[in-house]
Amino acid sequence: MADHPKAFVTGFPIRHSRSPLIHGHWLKEHGLEGSYEAIEIAPEGFADFINSLQRNGYAGGNITIPHKEMAFALCNKRDTAAEDIGAVNTLWFEDGALWGGNTDAYGFLANLDALSPGWDSRKTALVLGAGGASRAVVYALKQRGFDEIRIVNRTLERAQELADRFGPAVSAHAWRAIPELLQDATFIVNTTSLGMEGKDDLTVDLSTANREALVTDIVYVPLETPLLKAARKRRLKTVDGLGMLLHQAVPGFEHWFGVRPEVTPELRALILTDMNKSAASGQSK
Ligand code: ATR
């Protein structure tokens, strides 16, 4: 092992990741000696990278797109969230074994708990999208006892796969069913990449939306996505997605550096400043 704990985030590409900024902030805040670096690894080199972590002195790290499923396959043990979601975003060593966890669902819930306490008294959800991010969100909503989780997706079969995976509380619907589904949905979440800077807008007509609906988005660049803007205009409650990024980082930091850090307004401001800097220099993320 290295003198000081070393951790990483890897993806392909990885240069836009804000995780080094988040963990760097916490290391400094707690006066800890340690490091957290972004390492770009192409898919063909990923298995070698993971298999040499301990030899290279890493305490663990974060895994992002497109490696989360490969990380799932490569670790020795997995926590329940990772098992149920089928993807790993956090690795750490424990008793000599490489553990894989998934903290995306935790981050999603912790953000809503922090910004809209009691949000989960709602029990009917409309989930837009059926990709990897959707799996974590559906898992999270199930954990909080949502009894109707309706997934709409451009490709209906992918939504159906999720419904089959997560059981009777979860159902699959075609994109065109949105206006009708909006009438009952008291919780609406976008898990697609639509609305992200550089991608197509997410255009959902919220005119039939339930007035009690809380609307959230896992996209956080821009902070106010087209969906959140439309919701605000209709005076619906909204929660932005930046906190999911911040909160999902907490368990990893605790595993590697031994202190459970907090998501503070200072941390949020630090990341927002960086986002504004990137926007000013024309970077998309
Ligand atoms: P992630 O792991 O980030 O969720 P993903 O697995 O590629 O990424 O999933 C992306 C999601 O965004 C999917 O629900 C995708 O819909 P399809 O399953 O039909 O591909 C959705 N998505 C991406 N681009 C879209 C578009 N232009 N219109 C509608 N949905 C789109």
pLDDT of residue 250: 98
**50 alpha carbon to ligand 1 midpoint, in Å?**
27
Helix (H) or strand (E) holding 8: strand 6-11
Residue partners of 260: CB distance under 8 A and separation at least 6: 250, 253, 254
pLDDT of residue 285: 47
For ligand 1, atom 8, the nearest C-alpha belongs to 131
**65 alpha carbon to ligand 1 midpoint, in Å?**
13
Catalytic, 68? Answer: yes
Burial 145-181 (b: 16+ CB within 10 A, else e): ebebbbbbbeebebbbbbbeebeebbbbbeeeebeeb
pLDDT of residue 1: 47
pLDDT of residue 284: 52
pLDDT for 81-132, tens place per residue? 999 999 999 999 999 999 999 999 999 999 999 999 999 999 999 999 999 9
Let me know if 94 is exposed, middle or buried by CB neighbors in 10 A (0-12, 13-18, 19+): exposed
Structure tokens that stand for 153 in this block: 């997706």
**92 alpha carbon to ligand 1 midpoint, in Å?**
29
- Return the ligand 1 atom nearest residue 155 CA: 19
Which segments in the chain show pLDDT lower than 70?
1-2, 283-285
CB of 47 within 8 A of CB of 18?
no
Out of 6, 68, 142, 237, the active site residue is 68
Amino acid (1-letter code) at residue 267: L
Crossing angle, helix 19-29 and helix 265-280, to 10 degrees?
140
For ligand 1, atom 18, the nearest C-alpha belongs to 155
Domains and CATH numbers, the chain: 6-102+249-280 (3.40.50.10860), 106-243 (3.40.50.720)
pTM equals: 0.96
Pocket of ligand 1, beta carbon within 6 A:
129-134, 153-155, 158, 191-194, 200
